[in-house]
Structure 1
């Protein structure tokens, strides 16, 4: 979704942004049909792109963990006419995290490198992206995520339950009434996860359920948008829900969208008026002093859910790579007092507005 475009553009810097003005980035146009497996791969003519996997894991004793694996590709607009192999035409940035209630906060790490010299790269025609020894790829019908950070590591396989869920109109996902603000966007909900997690030097097997977003575009956020709230929710009946809203500086919704994957097959695209995010209990970060609403009520159509965090402190400080601080965390989905699913919530723009362009 548009949320990641904010994070990625920060990596370009002031000189890169002025150079980008002369670059012809590929446009997002309605009516383009997404084609697989080709569209699982990278789209380097566009400004930004991301593969974003989040989910819940269970340790052998039943203890829950949340996990995040994110790879960003950025076409910088810098050095495109240069013959030098050192020109930073494309960047790869990556974030990874484990939400561990026993620790009480996120374990997280980040990587970034220009494409080339074996340090980072991406594949065309099929999912494959890496930076150093961090990798995310689609191999034999399964996604594989491998991360080695300072205080955690994981090697996970994510098995899709069905075809991609196309968000918006056939994968054309509007971010405003102006169709210029849009992305190509699909999700893979209800991914069955297996593999291992290493915490405090101890490797343990895990199983769970995850969500994958793949999105690419060339436009920045609409004027007046300060941030966004997004959820990807896997429900126990086999259905799934993606929903987001863009907010202005006063917390008012500028735009909203949602896609239901129905339990019996098929999907339903919701109108902005059918979606409402209502913030609830807040938590204040002891590190950044940013206050986040960590509990929510989410209305989509005739249904209303409560979102409750696995733990409050799921703030990710990525200022060493994308320059931003955001909250990305595992949440329980409750309806009528009964838990009926789990997913991930992302919130940005609760501190300073992220400045791009």
Structure 2
């Protein structure tokens, strides 16, 4: 790639990042916006939606080695549009970037990639399903069976995933409201993956297996102007049930919450603002910031009163868009493990 092409790529990527996590509350003029009562079209909706401004394919996994050591894994591909629609070659307004990470009890390895749409360096096809950026891949004939790979300076992983349950739709049939003003996204998940494979770490290869959770979400203005960040929990309980819950923090100190209870058979119950609660119990200094690393989480309607604690307090994603993301363990009324993402802790 020429120096000029690299500079163009960086300029476009910077524009996309400016409307990334920190810009999700800005005006969506010109872009499509989610509407209530969505009708999903599969497999097409597993693919990209270029008329919407932001979209992601977001996979996290809780892994265990044969010696009992816990690990976490993340693979995320983001699409961010500078303008709605698609075009060929360098004229494409779509910018792609990706994050990958492996968390151990005492280390957190991260990597980041950037690409322009339209030139084949990154993208997603729906049938057969494939999401890629450079040599990072999430691919399979369908979402039910996937091969997953990514690498960074200090890690590589190659994984195989098999779905053991149905897709789950959050909010009202996949229309997930994010604020009292009505901002929303389309949001569904596949939280029933079994995963196994090999981590390549500085100490050598590690065979691992466990569970994984894929989130699919797209929107053009999923936050309001008064929201500064979020705390997002995906919890897999030992009794087979699962809980997705998030807090969107308001600049006045209040928060907006939403949750989905997922039964072992995939049946769901959605909860609106106020039903799900999460409060920090302990903070740690991470990357010069005060980050909550232990939480009290509750969903009283389901008898959930648990403590959620980070496996590794230092799971900081020190990338172009910085945030915290890592595996957690659950104790209290229920036990289990899951993942926690926290943004907006500047």
TM-score range, shorter chain: 0.7 to 0.9
Q: Residue 333 of structure 1 corresponds to which residue in structure 2?
A: 330
Matched residues in 1 for 2:235 and 2:87: separation? Answer: 45
CA contact (8 A) 2:50 2:86 kept: no
Q: Aligned partners of 1:331 and 1:117: how far apart in 2?
A: 38
Q: Which residue of 2 aligns with 1:241?
A: 243
Q: Which residue is equivalent to 1:64?
A: 70
Greater Cα offset, 141-150 or 65-74: 141-150
Does structure 1 conserve the Cα–Cα contact (< 8 Å) formed by 2:261 and 2:270?
yes
Aligned to 2:345: 350
Cα deviation for residue 135 of structure 1 reads: 1.3
CA RMSD of aligned residues (A): 2.5
> Paired residue for 2:43, among 37, 40, 59?
37
Aligned length: 327
Q: Report runs of 4+ in structure 1 exceeding 6 Å deviation.
A: 20-23, 80-84
How far off its partner does 1:265 sit?
4.2
Residue 350 of structure 1, CA deviation: 1.4
CA deviations 1:310-336 (Å, max 9, x no partner) are: 1111111112xxxx2111010001114
Q: Give the drift of 1:144.
A: 2.1
> 5+ unaligned residues in a row in structure 2: which ranges?
1-12
Residue 3 of structure 1 is matched in structure 2 by none
| 1:1-357 equivalences in 2 (<5 Å) | 11-12=17-18, 24-77=30-83, 85-101=89-105, 104-125=106-127, 127-140=129-142, 141-179=144-182, 181-200=183-202, 202-249=204-251, 251-253=253-255, 255-285=256-286, 288-301=287-300, 302-319=303-320, 324-336=321-333, 340-351=335-346
Which SS does the other structure have where 1:226 is aligned?
Answer: strand
Partners of 2:176 and 2:119 lie apart in 1 by: 35
2:8 is matched with which residue? none
Bigger drift between 87-96 and 206-215 goes to 87-96
| Cα deviation, residue 251, structure 1 | 3.9
- Deviation (angstroms), 1:250: 5.1
Secondary structure of the corresponding residue to residue 278 of structure 2? strand
Equivalent residue of 1:39, what SS?
A: helix
CA–CA separation in structure 2 for the residues paired with 1:82 and 1:203: 41
Q: Does the 8 A contact of 1:278 with 1:296 survive in 2?
A: yes
- Distance in 1 (CA, whole Å) between partners of 2:181 and 2:204 is 51
Residues 72-119 of structure 1: CA distance to partner in whole angstroms, max 9, x if unpaired?
A: 011211xx7997732341111100001111xx2310000011023332
Is contact 2:305–2:332 with CA below 8 Å preserved after alignment? yes
C-alpha contact 1:8 1:74 (8 A) present in aligned 2: no
1:281-318 Cα shifts (integer Å, max 9, x gaps) = 11102xx3111011000111332111011111111111
